[in-house]
Amino acid sequence: MPTFLTTPKMSPDLVARVQASVNGRRAAPGSRRRAPHLIVLVRLAVLVLAGTLLALVSYVRARDRAERESERASLSARVAQRLSALDPQDQRTLPRIEAFLVRAAGQYEGDVLTEALRAPGALAALFADRTVYVRGEQTAFRNAAAVSEAAKASSKDAFLLCLLAPPPERSEKALLAKARLAYSTRGELEAATERVRPLRDAVLGMPFLSTAFAERVRAADDLIELHRLRSAFDKAPLDAATQAAKARLLVFVVDEPSPPGGAVELDGEKAHVVRVGIVDLMSDSTLLRTRKRVDPSWISAARRVDSANALDSCALALDVHESVAKL
């Protein structure tokens, strides 16, 4: 039987002896002989099994690789599409807002009311632009990281509604109507403030609209990581974040700490000082900065229990309007 151990250069006698040596005619003394065919069958089976396993592993790895690259390409395309909607100025919006808020929560720099707001309807016209709104306690705005955390807890409220659409009069009944509208679950608040995005949308969405996220997608080395990134990307408020990034106006409310003592309402409302600001993000200029005191003591006992905070907020918005009107 031919064998790979022979070469054409070998003599016929040597070839014959080499063939004999591999045909198993000899056995070392004392060695246990097994049926050669059984050995061959077992080894063939092992080889076939090993080959099948190898092919299977290779196939699975190739399939995973293709799926991973497909997933990466799909996600990268979506990220790129989202990124293309934002210009460099938009990418800087959130850091600038955080910087403004940290500054606003610091030493109060005095009231500001620009001349541009003096014209009748100027304030209302101002809110026609895309706006970002946030409200938080003074201590929550101590630095950029804290601003992000505070922003996640801040949403549209009665102050924003009353600022954009003030009640016709400063009566408990009129303010309560606005407060109830703000707390409505039927979408009236969103409809009335559709051009305003809470800062939370930018905080939650902008990390997915960055080149850093695109790089993470490119560098992800397994499918699970890519699935995790896609899931997070899908859940992120990307449209709202894009809208927030393109905002021209920032409206913020900073609640200073309330003095010790005094009554605290069931919803946490208590007499304290509030800072309100409106910033033109296009020119980085403060259009309005004022400091007001809110005190729920004017609210009737029946309404104070469930709406003290909303009524005070709406009253604060009226205070802002009145301040502008007094110019």
Partner 1 sequence: MSPASNELRPDPPDLLHATPFARLDSDALRLSMTLAFSGGGQGGLFGEALERAVLAPSSFEPGAFANDLFLRNFVAMCCKVRVGQREYPVAQQYLTRLLASPPLDARTIEFRRTILAELSSSKPLRDELEQLYGVLYRLRKILESSSAEWDPNRRQMDILSAVKELIERMAAKFGGAQSGLSRLAAFGARVKASEAFRSLSDLIAYDEKLATLELKVSVGADGKIRGFKLLSVAENQANPFVGSPLQRWLARAELFLRGFSFSSGEVMARLILAVFDGLEPVFPSFVALLGDLEFYLGALGFADFAANAGLPVCLPEFVPPEAPRVLGGLFNPLLLAHGIPPVPCDITTNRHDTTVLVTGPNSGGKTRLLQSVALAQLLGQAGVFVPARVAELSLASSLVVSLIQETKADQAEGRLGMELLRIRALFEHLPPGAMVMLDELCSGTNPSEGEEIFELVVQMLTRLRPQAFITTHFLAFAGRLESAGAIPELRFLQVSLGENHEPTYQFKPGVAQTSLAGHAAARLGVTGEQLLALVERNTRALAARRET
Q: Which residues bind partner 1 (CB under 8 A)?
A: 3-5, 7, 9-11, 13-14, 16-24, 26, 28-30, 34, 36, 39-40, 43-44, 47
What does the alpha-carbon distance between residue 22 and residue 1 come to, in Å, rounded to a whole number? 9
Using the minimum distance from each CB to partner 1, give the nearer residue, 38 or 212.
Answer: 38
What does the alpha-carbon distance between residue 195 and residue 155 come to, in Å, rounded to a whole number? 14
Q: 123 and 251 in contact (C-beta within 8 Å)? A: no
**Closest distance to partner 1 from the beta carbon of 17 (Å):** 4
**Closest distance to partner 1 from the beta carbon of 43 (Å):** 6
Length of the chain: 327
**Closest distance to partner 1 from the beta carbon of 54 (Å):** 15
Using the minimum distance from each CB to partner 1, give the nearer residue, 47 or 60.
Answer: 47
What does the alpha-carbon distance between residue 316 and residue 182 come to, in Å, rounded to a whole number? 15
- Going from the C-alpha of 17 to that of each of 14, 25, 28, 263, 304, the distances in angstroms are 5, 11, 17, 110, 110
Using the minimum distance from each CB to partner 1, give the nearer residue, 34 or 326.
Answer: 34
- Going from the C-alpha of 20 to that of each of 13, 23, 51, the distances in angstroms are 11, 5, 30
**Closest distance to partner 1 from the beta carbon of 24 (Å):** 7
**Closest distance to partner 1 from the beta carbon of 19 (Å):** 8
Using the minimum distance from each CB to partner 1, give the nearer residue, 45 or 66.
Answer: 45
**Closest distance to partner 1 from the beta carbon of 44 (Å):** 7
What does the alpha-carbon distance between residue 208 and residue 219 come to, in Å, rounded to a whole number? 15
What does the alpha-carbon distance between residue 314 and residue 26 come to, in Å, rounded to a whole number? 104
Q: 251 and 289 in contact (C-beta within 8 Å)? A: no
Using the minimum distance from each CB to partner 1, give the nearer residue, 24 or 95.
Answer: 24
Using the minimum distance from each CB to partner 1, give the nearer residue, 53 or 282.
Answer: 53
Say if strands 112-113 and 285-294 run parallel, antiparallel, or are unpaired.
antiparallel
**Closest distance to partner 1 from the beta carbon of 32 (Å):** 12
Kindly state the tokens that stand for 178: 């606005």
**Closest distance to partner 1 from the beta carbon of 87 (Å):** 53
Using the minimum distance from each CB to partner 1, give the nearer residue, 8 or 187.
Answer: 8
Q: In 3D, which of 275, 18, 280 has the Cα closest to residue 140?
A: 275
Q: What is the residue type of 194?
A: E
Using the minimum distance from each CB to partner 1, give the nearer residue, 29 or 168.
Answer: 29
Residue 244 contacts by C-beta under 8 Å, 6 or more apart in sequence?
Answer: 93, 94, 130, 132, 197, 198, 199, 201, 202, 205, 206
Q: 265 and 311 in contact (C-beta within 8 Å)? A: no
